Structure 1
Amino acid sequence: MSFFDILITTAVVVAGVTILLMVIGAVARKSMRDGAREWMRANGFTEHSIVFSPGDALGIDYGRSRIAVQTSSQRKIIPFTDLISVEISEDGATVTKSNRGSQLAGAAIGAIAFGGIGAIVGGLSGSSTSTQKVSKITINLMTKDTSLPFVEIVAFHEQAIDKGGFIYTQLTKDIMPWYGRLRAVLEIS
């Protein structure tokens, strides 16, 4: 075999192994998503539940005042009263955060300044960050449960995407209603 033949053979093997690993990962993520959906249904989280692409899941049962979370390492049902705070994080930096308590003043100021969207943005507490790309977006919950005081629900964790791009916009449309629901739970419980 010539050097060129060895080089081509190596490239083909590396490409084959890479594709195989990608397929195995995709099958594992699909299995995790299917398991999360089934667990949510079995526990009565049928009206408000979502399973994100990585397989982490979130559900809210307003009738029984509880939240269901599934991450890669755990499944837990949390009473509304145990929720302390909720935040959206991008690449580990808090983008939006709400704690138990009232953000009505911020919402009122936001509504006056910017209308309906301003009310949502104005009511959010926490810091913001400005970057052009993001590779991981999470919804983080702080709870009173000492066995599970912090839950990181991964909504997106892949190759970096542009913040102004289509995928980021779609992710935001999926995540923000959940942030709003969890924020409402903080307000009503």
Structure 2
Amino acid sequence: MIMDFWGWVLLIVIAGVGIAIVQVVVVSNKKKAMEEKLRSLPEFSPTQKIIGNNGEAGLAIDEDRRKVVLINSGPSGVRLKPITYRDILSSEIFVDGETVTKTARGSQLGGALIGGLALGGVGAIIGGLSGKTKSSEKVKRVDLRITVNDTKSPLHDLNFMDVEGKKDGIVYKTAMDQARHWHGLAAVLIKIADNEDERQVNTEPSSSAESSNINSLADELSKLSDLRDKGVLSDEEFVTQKQKLLS
């Protein structure tokens, strides 16, 4: 009877180890497929890249070309979504589904893009995992969410930890270090995009003023020409007044 009991225990242990090995192999194969797919992407040379802990999603950055690639693994295989820095609207770290930190576009143009997504019905999804931080000694998940300017698929979730561990443990600390690093990178890209937006906004008024001045000068020259044609101004007076306008 005792032998039967320990025999079942051994079988359960062996089965558990076998399942764990299979999961490791599956995740490893997913990561290899992502790496191969990324290498085949033209005009993109990643300077930094990360593949999530579960092999479901990844992220790569080409700092020279200012491009970002969102990587996803699904039933149909690996999918790559190239975007620009300006397409990143926000970055958020979740611990067990609760928001730890978040960075979002702050410029007028960036804010309008985020507002457009929320009005499109995505707002509830974006905030769906947000809430009050829970106090606990143990953690099960650490995720990074990137929100992008795409109404069909605005959310890109990257997992860094999906097993229970203590907050003072090496697994949790390593996962948080990775999540903070990539959240920081996203924040830098968002800042760059905001600065570009601000420069664009600041240059528009000067361009409009320049165009207005040109139109005003053309109107004045036209008036002078009419006065000359009507005999109000002589040819000499017309030339004098024209030179004053153009000087």
Q: TM-score range by the shorter chain?
A: 0.7 to 0.9
SS in 2 for 1:131: coil
Q: 2:17 aligns with which of 16, 19, 28?
A: 19
Residue 142 of structure 1 is matched in structure 2 by 147
Which segment drifts farther, 51-60 or 138-147?
51-60
The answer to whether the 8 Å contact 1:86/1:183 transfers is yes
Is 1:95 the counterpart of 2:100? The answer is yes
Structure 1: gaps of 5 or more residues? 103-125
Is 1:133 the counterpart of 2:138? The answer is yes
Is 1:29 the counterpart of 2:34? The answer is no
Computing the radius of gyration from Cα coordinates, the structure with the larger value is: 2
- The alpha-carbon deviation at position 84 of structure 1 amounts to 1.3
SS in 2 for 1:46: coil
Residue 48 of structure 2 is matched in structure 1 by 48
Q: Distance in 1 between matches of 2:66 and 2:181?
A: 18
Aligned residues: 163
TM value normalised by structure 2: 0.59
Q: Distance in 2 between matches of 1:145 and 1:85?
A: 12
**AA in 1 matched with 2:71:** Q
Is 1:170 the counterpart of 2:171? The answer is no
- The alpha-carbon deviation at position 45 of structure 1 amounts to 4.1
Residue 39 of structure 1 is matched in structure 2 by 37
Residue 82 of structure 2 is matched in structure 1 by 77
Q: Distance in 2 between matches of 1:94 and 1:87?
A: 7
**AA in 2 matched with 1:67:** V
- The alpha-carbon deviation at position 128 of structure 1 amounts to 7.0
SS in 2 for 1:153: strand
**AA in 2 matched with 1:155:** F
* Cα shift readout 1:16-37 (whole Å, capped 9, x = no counterpart): 2111111100101111122222
Which structure has greater helix proportion? 2
The answer to whether the 8 Å contact 1:95/1:128 transfers is no
The answer to whether the 8 Å contact 1:58/1:70 transfers is yes
SS in 1 for 2:140: strand
Q: Distance in 1 between matches of 2:7 and 2:18?
A: 16
RMSD: 2.2
Query: Where do 4+ consecutive residues of structure 1 move more than 6 Å?
Result: none
Greater RCO structure (CA 8 Å; 6+ sep): 1
Is 1:157 the counterpart of 2:162? The answer is yes
TM value normalised by structure 1: 0.76
Residue 61 of structure 1 is matched in structure 2 by 62
* Cα shift readout 1:113-132 (whole Å, capped 9, x = no counterpart): xxxxxxxxxxxxx9773432
- The alpha-carbon deviation at position 152 of structure 1 amounts to 0.9
Give % identity. Answer: 23
